[in-house]
Structure 1
């Protein structure tokens, strides 16, 4: 593979430690590590293994293909997948012992057909729309689906494992809808149990409620962004407020360094003009690599932060497809090949994913998950680099 002048360094030790911290914050609940979207851009299999080593007994993914990739990679922990359309390879998922969410009447029919094709019962979690207005069964559809699921369970076609939901205002701790949705899920579970259902887990808490609201932990919590050491509630404090450590550092090598006179335009549209004679650096990452164009520095405002030589600088001018520029200052001594940090742990005062989110008007989730595929992921554990495959250590899962 040809050498790429940037990389994302993922600390598996941080993932493992974050999983332990989250488990400690919800001691009465099981822990599902959400590793959808290639583990929020961090790498599906290495992160899944580290999360299981850190105490996660479940893994959560959105797409069936992600669940099957976990199984193909030798991960044996319980896996729940929840987003699919008609015609999805559900029989493969059932055969691979993947739990399936049922969010619509048609989905239960397809899961039942998949279980018959696979030759054994499908484990299902009934998804209830308690107010988010997204995926899930409406209160009107729920009783009939539960009754049909119980009929199929009696035939050995499915097994009712869980009932669950998503919160609409999870990132606003104290919002009155949070406990209202929790009460609706509890009521739905109680009604289903009165009809004969016996659930192993009820779950509604993702990262924010795992960190801030023990009353919503129920039987299982599903942290996602917190597993990666980022906070879903930055208004309450950074990751350190919750004992979390950011797992990803994105860094690049300066591709060019040159002197420019005062008054020189920088990047498309010249939205940044050098205010004095200075040194310009070219960083070889752009929006094709996931750098938000909204992170540009323009109209007199600095762009997203960059760490160079222990200094905290910012993107100068518009983000391009493959590169961004940084004004290194008139006394800069950097040379081509020197390291630039886009974001990392912030422990040394350097830039963070949250700082990038603030600069781009978005959330830290988007900053890490949009990182492009051509940026290599490099894995470290205990300060040393480890193979991405994790072949030297396959974590024991939960059957």
Structure 2
């Protein structure tokens, strides 16, 4: 057995997907399963689909290409705004994409015509989080331009909150999308098929019956994969958080001072560290570092173990009060945040093991 490794419980992820799909379905909302958090690892993708997900979304065209080449036949969307340099690949592999720049949509139109395809476009609207999206007052004009472009189909409107500005989803900011959609339908005589009202953070509105009626899609990744909702600071009710476990191996155990000896300068990442003198402690080193993972997102399953810090290749632990005997070769287990999962899944030095 090799380490470090993430063991992925497919059964629990499937149950999370089923629960969230059923929850949303009761409010007339479809779930787009977001696969970027695990680099679209195919066994996990298929587990999401087995759990009832009917559409998929990813931010990397390489992941979308791999999913399409695996034989998946459900619609897959690029959820990050396409780069102009990749529009041909986007049209070739993705059924649709989320967009905010008319110039890029025009390029998608040209490539779609050249390839004999119809590419679906969901226009992103910025309702306050200040990441991507057209400002609400500009949406009708931009939609008018899209409707004149051959080769693309205007499918609907979307928004994102929580990921950059930390803005919480609300009835008011989801209603902005619904009102814009109704205005577009009246103005242009078209049907707005999709109103994509947000991500995992928006599930709380669904649970409380506070999402604006008319929103008919949510893009869910973390809620299915980890059962967590960091924007609202909670676990998603009805889901499991035991879906993934990071296992890493101890390579050194020694009793050492808790405060470095000598003049303190900058560490390998340019920071000046600050240490508290807590006396001698039993310290362990795990073969894992900042090159592999967002260390701040790791949580030891043994609550008596404390993470002290990390360099690029070494994770330092205080195991003075560990509930079991920690020695060289011992395996320590961690839960992880979405950010930690994202970096671990991206690292080629960490094994991913569906179980």
TM-score range, shorter chain: 0.7 to 0.9
Deviations 1:106-133 (A, max 9, x none): 1221111011111122112122223322
How far is 1:209 from its partner?
Answer: 1.5
Give the unaligned 5+ runs of structure 2. 265-273
1:159 aligns with 2:162: no
How far is 1:4 from its partner?
Answer: 4.8
Contact 1:8 1:378 in 2 (8 A): yes
Count residues with an aligned counterpart: 335
216, 220, 228: which is aligned to 2:217?
220
> Aligned partners of 2:43 and 2:248: how far apart in 1?
22
Q: Paired residue for 2:143?
A: 146
How far is 1:306 from its partner?
Answer: 3.0
TM-score, length-scaled by structure 2: 0.82
TM-score, length-scaled by structure 1: 0.74
Deviations 1:325-352 (A, max 9, x none): 33333897433211111x23xxxxxxxx
Q: Paired residue for 1:366?
A: 339
> Aligned partners of 2:142 and 2:310: how far apart in 1?
50
Q: Paired residue for 1:298?
A: none
Q: Paired residue for 1:207?
A: 200
1:96 aligns with 2:93: yes
**Secondary structure of the corresponding residue to residue 59 of structure 1:** strand
> Aligned partners of 1:367 and 1:267: how far apart in 2?
31
Q: Paired residue for 1:257?
A: 253
> Aligned partners of 2:98 and 2:220: how far apart in 1?
17
1:79 aligns with 2:83: no
Q: Paired residue for 2:244?
A: 248
How far is 1:86 from its partner?
Answer: 4.6
> Aligned partners of 1:222 and 1:169: how far apart in 2?
13
> Aligned partners of 2:58 and 2:261: how far apart in 1?
39
How far is 1:202 from its partner?
Answer: 1.1
Q: Which of 140-149 and 249-258 deviates more?
A: 140-149
> Aligned partners of 2:180 and 2:60: how far apart in 1?
25
Q: Paired residue for 1:288?
A: 291
Contact 1:315 1:327 in 2 (8 A): yes
> Aligned partners of 1:56 and 1:32: how far apart in 2?
6
Deviations 1:36-84 (A, max 9, x none): 2xxx246532322111111001111123333223212322221121324
**Secondary structure of the corresponding residue to residue 289 of structure 1:** coil
137, 158, 171: which is aligned to 1:179?
171
Contact 1:18 1:226 in 2 (8 A): yes
Q: Which of 129-138 and 84-93 deviates more?
A: 84-93
Give the unaligned 5+ runs of structure 1. 296-303, 345-352, 354-363, 381-399
Q: Paired residue for 2:6?
A: 8
Contact 2:100 2:124 in 1 (8 A): yes
Q: Paired residue for 1:379?
A: 354
> Aligned partners of 1:159 and 1:235: how far apart in 2?
34
For residues 164 and 327 of structure 1, do their structure 2 counterparts lie closer, same or farther at Cα, with a shift above 3 Å needed? closer
- Provide the aligned C-alpha RMSD in A: 3.1
